[in-house]
């Protein structure tokens, strides 16, 4: 499918979202992502000469939620920059290409059949295409922010941190006790660096003072940590298992927030055989999750998520009231299961080799 057909198909399902926009954070994101996808589409076509490659980039980037780009644009506007420049578009391009590349690899490594209940376009692509496109997206994201040495270095550092977080998620050294490894400052690195970058970029383009840059970046990291915890919390619920994997499939155990919480409380003993298995069947996974989700683990996870939300609000106390309200709205939204499985993920495109 060529890029013109891809864009037309994806945009067709976005138009009705305008009718649903209200005052809530989710509704604001739904409205904003239409505008963000327009900017993103134009930038992909501007920066990608090959039509087939542009089509693959559009297919990979347009369906996402656009939370990071939403935060970038809303923060930039609150900092006094309302005009959209080429640099603004290139930052959005960098954010979304970086995210899309990480999603391609994450789904491939985790063996996910579905993403938040919806079949991804990329599931019909060969492993080789997904792997190579992920590399390309990461590289072209970096090239987009070469106009600013600070942002280029920040995105490069973020990409390294995201890669290490993903590696820790999957490649825990043999003989390592998971309970002792922790989670938040290691695996969560696959998520929070891009939130950090998004608010850092807003600060950079708005030329704000150094102390506000630090406060914005701290807010981004805090939001990113909460995002990762909430994502894991809902994805690991037994009731949501079929929203990630199809019946009859099997896949490996990767490190997660609920698993780390269980291990911290109970240790490895009762689940040692599952942890040592290369993969578990769909039914074995369901049984495994019933062991993991004790009432105490549920309580501990809820407490950790509330604390992460408090950390977001604490990080932004020196920022404007509007930004405090914006980031607090994100905290409230991430706590709701509806956000993670909202129908705006649905699209009707299928892309073949």
Instruction: Give domain status of residue 192, yes or no.
Output: yes
What is the average per-residue pLDDT within 13-18?
Answer: 33
Q: How many CA atoms lie within 13 A of 1 on its CB side?
A: 23
For residue 352, is pLDDT > 70? no
Instruction: Give domain status of residue 38, yes or no.
Output: no
- Total number of residues shown for the chain: 353
Which three-class secondary structure state does DSSP give residue 17? helix
Residues 254-266: pLDDT tens digits? 788 898 889 888 9
Instruction: Give domain status of residue 350, yes or no.
Output: no
Residue 219 belongs to a domain with what CATH number? 1.10.600.10
281: β partners: 250
Instruction: Give domain status of residue 81, yes or no.
Output: yes
Overall number of domains in the chain = 1
Greatest extent of the chain over all pairs of C-alpha atoms, in Å: 58
Instruction: Give domain status of residue 13, yes or no.
Output: no
Residues 31-44: pLDDT tens digits? 898 999 999 999 99
Which of the four pLDDT bands, split at 50, 70 and 90, describes residue 249? confident
Instruction: Write down the pTM of the prediction.
Output: 0.86
Q: How far out from the chain centre does Cα 26 lie?
A: 15
Instruction: Give domain status of residue 214, yes or no.
Output: yes
Residue linked to tokens 């405090």: 324
Nearest residue to 292 via CA among 278, 276, 272, 271: 271
The token duo for 302 is 């809820």
pLDDT value, residue 256: 85
How many whole angstroms separate alpha carbon 323 and alpha carbon 111?
37
How many whole angstroms separate alpha carbon 240 and alpha carbon 213?
38
pLDDT value, residue 353: 26
Range of the domain at 281: 68-345
Instruction: Give domain status of residue 44, yes or no.
Output: no
Q: How far out from the chain centre does Cα 75 lie?
A: 18
Instruction: Give domain status of residue 49, yes or no.
Output: no
Residues 100-149: pLDDT tens digits? 998 888 777 665 555 555 566 556 677 788 889 999 999 999 999 999 99
How many whole angstroms separate alpha carbon 11 and alpha carbon 22?
20
For residue 217, is pLDDT > 80? yes
pLDDT value, residue 184: 63
What is the average per-residue pLDDT within 275-301?
Answer: 91
233 vs 168, higher pLDDT: 233
Residues 45-102: pLDDT tens digits? 999 989 999 999 998 898 888 999 999 999 999 999 988 899 999 999 999 999 999 8
Helix H or strand E encompassing 251:
strand 250-251
- Provide φ and ψ at 64, rounded to 5°: -65, 170
């Amino acid at each position: 499918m060529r890029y013109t057909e891809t864009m037309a198909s994806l945009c067709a399902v976005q138009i009705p979202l305008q009718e649903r926009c209200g005052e809530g954070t989710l509704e604001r994101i739904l409205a904003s992502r239409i505008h963000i996808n327009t900017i993103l589409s134009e930038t992909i076509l501007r920066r990608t000469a090959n039509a087939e490659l542009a089509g693959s980039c559009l297919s990979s980037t347009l369906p996402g939620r656009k939370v990071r780009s939403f935060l970038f644009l809303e923060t930039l506007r609150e900092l006094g920059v309302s005009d959209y420049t080429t640099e603004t578009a290139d930052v959005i391009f960098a954010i979304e290409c970086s995210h899309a590349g990480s999603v391609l690899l994450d789904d491939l490594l985790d063996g996910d059949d579905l993403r938040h209940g919806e079949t991804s376009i990329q599931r019909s692509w060969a492993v080789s295409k997904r792997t190579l496109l992920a590399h390309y997206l990461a590289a072209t994201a970096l090239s987009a922010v070469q106009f600013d040495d600070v942002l280029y270095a920040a995105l490069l550092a973020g990409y390294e941190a995201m890669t290490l977080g993903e590696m820790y998620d999957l490649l825990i050294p043999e003989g390592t006790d998971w309970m002792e490894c922790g989670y938040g400052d290691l695996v969560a690195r696959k998520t929070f660096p891009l939130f950090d970058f998004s608010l850092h970029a807003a600060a950079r383009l708005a030329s704000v003072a150094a102390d506000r840059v630090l406060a914005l970046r701290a807010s981004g990291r805090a939001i990113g940590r909460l995002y990762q915890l909430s994502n894991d919390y809902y994805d690991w619920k037994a009731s949501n298992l079929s929203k990630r994997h199809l019946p009859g499939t099997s896949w490996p155990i990767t490190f997660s927030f609920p698993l780390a919480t269980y291990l911290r409380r109970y240790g490895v003993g009762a689940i040692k055989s599952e942890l040592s298995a290369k993969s578990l069947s769909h039914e074995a996974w369901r049984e495994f999750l019933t062991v993991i989700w004790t009432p105490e683990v549920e309580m501990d996870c809820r407490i950790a998520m509330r604390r992460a939300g408090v950390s977001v609000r604490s990080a932004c106390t020196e920022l404007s009231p509007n930004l405090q309200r914006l980031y607090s709205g994100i905290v409230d939204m991430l706590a709701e299961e509806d956000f993670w499985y909202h129908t705006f993920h649905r699209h009707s495109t299928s892309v073949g080799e």
